[in-house]
C-alpha cells in the first residue's frame, strides 16, 4: 500500500499584531462584541513589502526543518491561496525560487478557506500515482489586503499567516497499521458564490476588490456542510466519530467550530481551536492550527486526526489522517 505520511509541519505569522482594542479605535466595534460573536482576540497583519510567497516560504522552511529534510528532497510544491503575489506566476513558483529549488514542479490551488484540505488531497493523489515522492503543501494568505477596513462585519474576521506540511510517500505492507492520509472528501456548490466573495478580478473589473459576506447565510450552511463531509470521510475509511483523537477545523469563527463539534458529538477537548490568536487566515488556518497542536504535543504519532474546512464558492472538504 502506498501512503502519504506527514513528515513535518511548520508555520509563520507576521510580526505585527492587530488587537480588537486597536480595531475599535477605527471602526464601530469593541473587543467584547468581537469575542462574543466570533471568538477572535487578535490577528497578524503582513508588513509593507511582505507578500504571500514570503509567508509561505517561512512556513516551508519551518516544515522542512521539522521533517529533517532539505529542499533538494522535495519533488513538488503546492500552495493553497486566494491572495497570490501576482495574477501570475503562481505563488508556488515564487516559493520554489525563494527556497532555491530548481527541479520538480509547483502550482497553486484556489479554493479559498478549503484550499489547504484540497491541496492535501491533491498531493496525496500525486504521491499515490507516482508523480511525486515528497510534497511541500502550503496554505498561505495575506487576506488583510482584500479587506475594506471600514466594514466592521468583515475586517474584524480575517488575518494573515501561513502553514505548511511535508508529505512523504511510504510503502506499507498490507498487514501494517495504516498511516498517513486515509481518505479525503471534497465538495463544492457554485450556486452559493455570492454569499462570500470578493468584488473584483482580472476578468471582471481589473481590480482586486474587497471581501463581501452574507454572514448569517454562511453560518447557516457551514455547520451542516462541515458535519456532512466529516461523516462521509469517516464512513469511507470505516471509522466513526468516537474513533477520532483530534478534530482540526478551519478557524473561521468559534461559534461555527463549537457548533460543528457539538453536532458531531465531539468533546471540546478533542477540538483544536486557535482562531482567537490569528483570526480567519483562510487557506492558512488549518495548517496553522495543526502546527500548534503538533508543537505543543497534543497530536502525536498514531493519533487519528480529521482536517476540515469550508470556504467561498462554496467549497468544503475533509481529510482523515493517521498521524
Tell me which residues are annotated as active site. Answer: 113, 250, 280
Q: How far apart are CA 186 and CA 156, in angstroms?
A: 28
SS3 category, 9: strand
- CB-count exposure of residue 68 (10 Å: 0-12, 13-18, 19+): exposed
Burial of 245 (0-12, 13-18, 19+ CB in 10 A): middle
Smallest CA-to-CA distance from 239 within 308, 143, 164, 321 is with 321
Grid cell in block for residue 186: 471534497
CA distance linking residue 39 with residue 197, whole number of Å: 22
List alpha helices for the chain, DSSP H: 20-23, 31-38, 52-67, 91-98, 115-128, 152-155, 215-237, 254-264, 275-278, 285-295
The grid coordinates of residue 142 equal 495575506
Alpha helices in 79-214 (DSSP H): 91-98, 115-128, 152-155
Distance CA 240, CA 230 (A): 10
N- to C-terminal Cα separation, the chain: 16
C-alpha to C-alpha distances, 102 to 74, 91, 93, 248, 314, nearest whole angstrom: 10, 15, 10, 33, 35
Residue 260: name the closest of 219, 314, 320 by CA: 219
Given a contact cutoff of 8 angstroms between Cβ atoms, the answer to whether 187 and 229 are in contact is yes
Amino acid at each position: 500500500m502506498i501512503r502519504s505520511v506527514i513528515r513535518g509541519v511548520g508555520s509563520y505569522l507576521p510580526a505585527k499584531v492587530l488587537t480588537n482594542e486597536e480595531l475599535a479605535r477605527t471602526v464601530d466595534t469593541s473587543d467584547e462584541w468581537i469575542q462574543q460573536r466570533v471568538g477572535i482576540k487578535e490577528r497578524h497583519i503582513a508588513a509593507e513589502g511582505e507578500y504571500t510567497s514570503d509567508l509561505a516560504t517561512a512556513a516551508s522552511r519551518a516544515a522542512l526543518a521539522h521533517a529533517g529534510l532539505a529542499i533538494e528532497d522535495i519533488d513538488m510544491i503546492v500552495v493553497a491561496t486566494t491572495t497570490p503575489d501576482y495574477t501570475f506566476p503562481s505563488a508556488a513558483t515564487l516559493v520554489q525560487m525563494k527556497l532555491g529549488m530548481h527541479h520538480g514542479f509547483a502550482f497553486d490551488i484556489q479554493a479559498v478557506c478549503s484550499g489547504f484540505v484540497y491541496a492535501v488531497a491533491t498531493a496525496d493523489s500525486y504521491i499515490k500515482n507516482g508523480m511525486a515522492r515528497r510534497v511541500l503543501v502550503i496554505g498561505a494568505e495575506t487576506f488583510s489586503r482584500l479587506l475594506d477596513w471600514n466594514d466592521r462585519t468583515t475586517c474584524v474576521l480575517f488575518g494573515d499567516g501561513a502553514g505548511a506540511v511535508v508529505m512523504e510517500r511510504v510503502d506499507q505492507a498490507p498487514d501494517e497499521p495504516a498511516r498517513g492520509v486515509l481518505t479525503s472528501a471534497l465538495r463544492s456548490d457554485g450556486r452559493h458564490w455570492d454569499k462570500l466573495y470578493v468584488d473584483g478580478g482580472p476578468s471582471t473589473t481589473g481590480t482586486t476588490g474587497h471581501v463581501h459576506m452574507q454572514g448569517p447565510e454562511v453560518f447557516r450552511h457551514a455547520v451542516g456542510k462541515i458535519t456532512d463531509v466529516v461523516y462521509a470521510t469517516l464512513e469511507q475509511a470505516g471509522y466513526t466519530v468516537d474513533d477520532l483523537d483530534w478534530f482540526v477545523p478551519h478557524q473561521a469563527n468559534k461559534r461555527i467550530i463549537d457548533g460543528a463539534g457539538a453536532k458531531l458529538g465531539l468533546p471540546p477537548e478533542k477540538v483544536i481551536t486557535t482562531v482567537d490568536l490569528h483570526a480567519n487566515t483562510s487557506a492558512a488556518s488549518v495548517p496553522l492550527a495543526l502546527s500548534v497542536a503538533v508543537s505543543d504535543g497534543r497530536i502525536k504519532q498514531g493519533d487519528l486526526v480529521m482536517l476540515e474546512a469550508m470556504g467561498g464558492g462554496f467549497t468544503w472538504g475533509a481529510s482523515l489522517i493517521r498521524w
